[in-house]
Each structure stands twice: as C-alpha cells, then as structure tokens.
Amino acid sequence: MEEDRLNSPNTSAIVIEVLGHRLHLSQDPNSKHLGTTVWDSSMVFIKFLEKNSRKGRFSPSKLKGKRAIELGAGCGLAGLGMALLGCNVISTDQIEVLPLLMRNMERNASWIMQTNPETASFGSVEVAELDWGNKDHIRAVCPPFDYILGTDIVYAEHLLEPLLHTILALSGPRTTIMLGYELRSTIVHEQMIQSWRDNFVVKTIPRSKMDSKYQHSSIQLFIMEPKASAKRGDGDNIQNSLVDDGSDDCCGCRSKEQEEDDD
C-alpha cells in the first residue's frame, strides 16, 4: 500500500479497524469542503497510535482522563483514536463541517460503548466549532490541553499564522502537539517547519514506529512540545528539531510521566 492512497475519498463511507474496533466514518464526497472526507494522514496517525499503545506514553494507562483537542478534525478519525485510548476529546472544525463530524463522533462512540461495554479505556468525545484565530471559540473550549492534534491541516500559506496562534493559545507548558502532515508544497512546508521550530521542539516520528501498511513517503508525523517544557525534561537531547534519533523509546521523546518520575 506504500505509494497508493490509503483512503477512498469518493465513497460515502469508509471502515477502518483500530484497536479491535471497526470505526465507520461517513463522508460526503460531493461536498466542496475539504473536511468531509477522511484524509490519509489521519489514517497514518491513528494506526501509529494503535501500534504504539501497548506501553509507554500512548498506552491507555497514561492517556486515561487526559484532555485532547483536535483542530480541523474533518470526519474526526484522529480524535476517535485518542478517545479509544482514554482521552476526553474535543473535535473541532469550521461550522460547515460540524454536522458530519458530530454524526461520525456520536455514532462511533455509541457503537463502541454498546458493542464493547467492557471498553473501560474509552474516554469521551464532544464537538465544537473552532475557526483558527477566533478568540471566542478558543476561550469556549477552556484551554490549556494535554494534547493538541491535527492531521492534514497544514496545506495553505495563509492558514499557517492563524493555526500557529491557535495552537499557542490552546497550549500550556506541558502540552504535547501531534501533527500528521502530507507534503504538497515545498514553500508551505518550509514556512511551516520554520514557524514550528521557532516555537516548539519538533520531532519527526520515524517510519519504523508507524504501521507498516499505513504509511506513505509524503506523509510525516510530528510531535512537538513547547520549548520551555522540553528544557525541563531532556531538552539537551532534543534541541535539534526534526531529528529522527532512532531511539527505542516511542518517537524518542520522553513522556510527561517520565519527567514526573524524574522530579
């Protein structure tokens, strides 16, 4: 599957198996809005979570009860992955996308709870409007969050600044930002990397940590932390951004819990 597309954006629904659950995402291929189909980097992201959830920072025991927000959620797949691992997730997008997003989140959450009532790790999902840069929308979701997620939300130059400001406004000193990103424009990519590096310690997730089927040469996953928080942990080792250090620890980053253990 390496170089093929992972999703079928022309169908009215897709099914993907994650953590023993069959997630069913409705799509609207006829809509002109980008958020009404599932994008490939969200599939790469959720399968990465699945692969790395048995132990470490993405295990349900570490994520249970953590607050996560997904930006530009579209059909909501990435947020569902974090909820399956125990997070309380707010999935956000522009108003036009919210009916489909709400349907997908509600249907999957209730299906998971009905068919697997023993799924103790499932957190919660809710949906909210959040237009990047809108201060009222940001205030309404009560930042800061433990996790900020976004897949395929960086694709146009004019969106970089409002997106960055939104992420900064939603972050606290211990927030982890996780982005899935498909390279389409070198100009946008370079600007994005520069602005992330100016504000965060940025790590790319090595391909070896991704699901072997759900990866693509143009899709990257990033984990970022505010610079000050990284310095409190093992910042000396991760000052150089975008380093694939091949560490055995997932992504080479230290978890908040590891930092707490050290304190």
> Nearer Cβ to ligand SAM, position 74 or 81?
74
Torsion angle, CA of 61/52/242/67, rounded to 10 degrees? -30
**Rounded CA separation 184/228 (Å):** 31
- CB 205 to ligand SAM: min, Å: 16
The answer to whether residue 102 forms part of the interface with ligand SAM (CB under 6 A) is: no
- With contacts defined by CB under 6 A, how many residues of the chain interact with ligand SAM? 20
The type of residue at 138 is I
CB of residue 111 to ligand SAM, shortest distance in Å: 19
Task: Return the residues of window 56-95 that contact ligand SAM according to CB under 6 A.
Answer: 72-75, 93-94
With CA atoms as reference, report the closest residue to 90 among 154, 146, 164, 26: 146
Q: Closest separation between CB of residue 227 and ligand SAM, Å?
A: 25
The enclosing H or E element of 169 equals helix 157-170
d(CA 93, CA 75): 10
Q: Is 105 in the site for ligand SAM (CB under 6 A)?
A: no
Burial of 15 (0-12, 13-18, 19+ CB in 10 A): exposed
Q: Give yes or no for residue 35 binding ligand SAM (CB under 6 A).
A: yes
CA distance 236 to 194: 20
Q: Residues 34, 128, 193, 243: which binds ligand SAM (CB under 6 A)?
A: 34
Binds ligand SAM (CB under 6 A): choice among 91, 108, 151, 241? 151
Which residues sit at the interface with ligand SAM, rule CB under 6 A?
A: 34-35, 38-39, 41-42, 72-75, 93-94, 97, 131-132, 151-153, 159, 162
